[in-house]
Homo-oligomer: A and B are copies of this chain.
Amino acid sequence: MNGAESLVKTFLANDVTVCFANPGTSEMHFVAALDNHPDMRCVLCLFEGGTSGAADGYYRMSGKVAATMLHLAPGFGNAFANLHNARKAGSGIVNVMGDHATYHLKYESPLRGNTSGVSQAVSHWTRTSEDASAVSGDGAAAIRAARSRGGQIATLILPADTAWMEGTAPQIAAPPPALHRSEPEKIAAAARALRRPGAALMIGGTAGHGAMQELAGSIARATGARLMAPLQVPRLRRGAGAPCMESLAYPVEVNLTILAEVKELVLCGANPPVSFFAYPGKPGTPIPPDCRVQALCAPDMDIEGTLHALADAVGADAKTGTERVTLDLPDLPSGPLSIGKVADALAVMLPEDAILVNESVTSTAPLLQATAHARGHDLLVTTGGAIGQCLPAASGAAIACPDRSVFALSGDGSAMYTLQSLWTMARERLDVTVLVFANRGYQILRGELANLGIEQVGRNATRMFDVEDPTLDWCSLAKGHGVPAARAQTSEQLIEALKNAKQTVGPYLIEVALP
């Protein structure tokens, strides 16, 4: 058994069963090893940004670590942006990056690059295997690292000769180290704070869905505190049946209003809320100056244990229950489209238990507002703010949850970053409905320029904000990737297209032509 084979067997022995791949010439033995193991699902992405984004979406929906296979330094560079997003989401990923054979590194070959340097700039854990006998142990250590602290980016660099020389038996990863727990006195203080007027419990990390979210809801009900979430929760359950929560937004001003009355902010699984960017004369955080903040539990600590301890301290349990969102659907819209009508149509037609992957940027606020009372669903967002996450993450989510409908909501500017993922959706027959909001440009940049107090926009700025001349034709782009598509300019066309998408096996793209 060579080193590559020992790694694949180590992956399978540890229940790492999906590999998102863009192999290059330095990973050929790994490809050959995968070939001998059809129980490993290999998903080809036509660009490495597709692999890392898919692994992120897969982890968020399955809780399982996936592998990516990347090519040397430049290939890893291509995956970098979505690894950044995954890092901010706390997603566990094992990247396998090939490298030259150790004895070939002395040459200035075209592809020689700083493999460990580019990895360390975004990975929590980086290791280069010294020889083939180390590969299975290093693979197990990478899986353990990816599962540690609530989910991390682990990168294993495999010089080509470690793949083809004789390896050792597959290894089982040791359990990750115990998560750091909140101190009892902090829990007691948080419990007291939550009972005071103007209290809010802000949850994040892995607490945005499932039993932890339920528990947080019961803590809120027992104490009377508001239950809140930051903008970037990796996976947030919302819509009918979900615990009632308030979410922060993108604009600084909106968040200042949301938090204005909060006097006691208890953070559990969430970092202190901050503004996306600093702007001259605007605050860097929306937390009111007179608000006391208790950072009870960071996202990489034991959120579950902390929530249980907090529930005990405030006397909440399963019987306490939680406030729940009720189903409240708008009417189906008609006539010319606006973003509000798109949001209404989506809210009405969203099936039970759908997965929304949102990177619609400037279209986000109305979409989230309208779907807040739609059928229950999970929401995945671009946790690291690096655009180009939506289509890859939607692919990974669909692979994690083959029985659920995935809706990828993307701005046109952001969808262009990783449009190659459309092909992967088609090949894997993924049930993804892609809505591209064609506002023909980076509309958010116009807003950001205004945020900085700059009102006048001339030719150079206009030509960097607007994706016009020519206009992108998303139906053709979809067709080129093998994905059926339709363009919607009216509400009726949009509703028809959403119905067609539902009846289509595999992906379907709708270009939403906004005025």
Residues on A close to B: CB < 8 A? 21, 23-26, 28-29, 31-32, 34-38, 40, 42, 44, 46-47, 49, 72-81, 83-85, 88, 100-101, 103-104, 107-111, 113-114, 117-118, 120-122, 160-161, 164, 231-232, 271-272, 274-278, 280, 284-285, 382-386, 388, 413, 416-417, 419-420, 423, 426-427, 444-445, 448-449, 451-452, 454, 456-461, 463-464, 467, 469-482
Please tell me if the beta carbons of A77 and B81 are within 8 angstroms of each other in the complex: yes
Closest-by-CB residue of B relative to A37 is: B460
- Within the assembled complex, what's the spacing in Å between the Cα atoms of A470 and B419? 15
Q: How far is the CA of A28 from the CA of B456 in the complex (A)?
A: 12
B103 touching A284, Cβ below 8 Å: yes
Please tell me if the beta carbons of A104 and B460 are within 8 angstroms of each other in the complex. Answer: no
Given A25-B445, A80-B74, A117-B121, A461 and B32 touching (CB < 8 A)? yes
Most chain B CB within 10 A, of A285, A423, A470, is at A470
Count the copies. Answer: 2
In angstroms, Cα B471 to Cα A426, docked, is: 10
Q: Are B107 and A272 in contact (CB under 8 A)?
A: yes
A46 to B454, CA, bound (A): 23
> Contact between B278 and A110 (Cβ–Cβ < 8 Å)?
no
Q: Is the CB of B84 within 8 A of A73?
A: yes
CA distance A451 to B111 in the complex (A): 18
* Pairwise interchain contact B44-A464, C-beta atoms closer than 8 A: yes
Known: A47-B417, A73-B80. 4 other contacts (CB 8 A): A34-B461, A49-B78, A107-B285, A117-B121
- Would you call A448 and B277 a contact (CB within 8 A)? no
CA distance A120 to B118 in the complex (A): 8
A42 and B460 contacting across the interface, CB-CB below 8 Å: yes
Using Cβ atoms and an 8 Å threshold, which residues of chain B touch A386?
Answer: 72, 74-75, 111
CA distance A385 to B467 in the complex (A): 30
* Complex interface: chain B residues within 8 A of A118 (CB): 80, 118, 121-122
* A34/B104 in contact, CB under 8 A: no
CB contact between A80 and one of B47, B77, B461, B477 (< 8 Å): that residue: B77
Residue of B nearest to A39 (CB): B460
A120 to B445, CA, bound (A): 28
Q: How far is the CA of A38 from the CA of B460 in the complex (A)?
A: 7
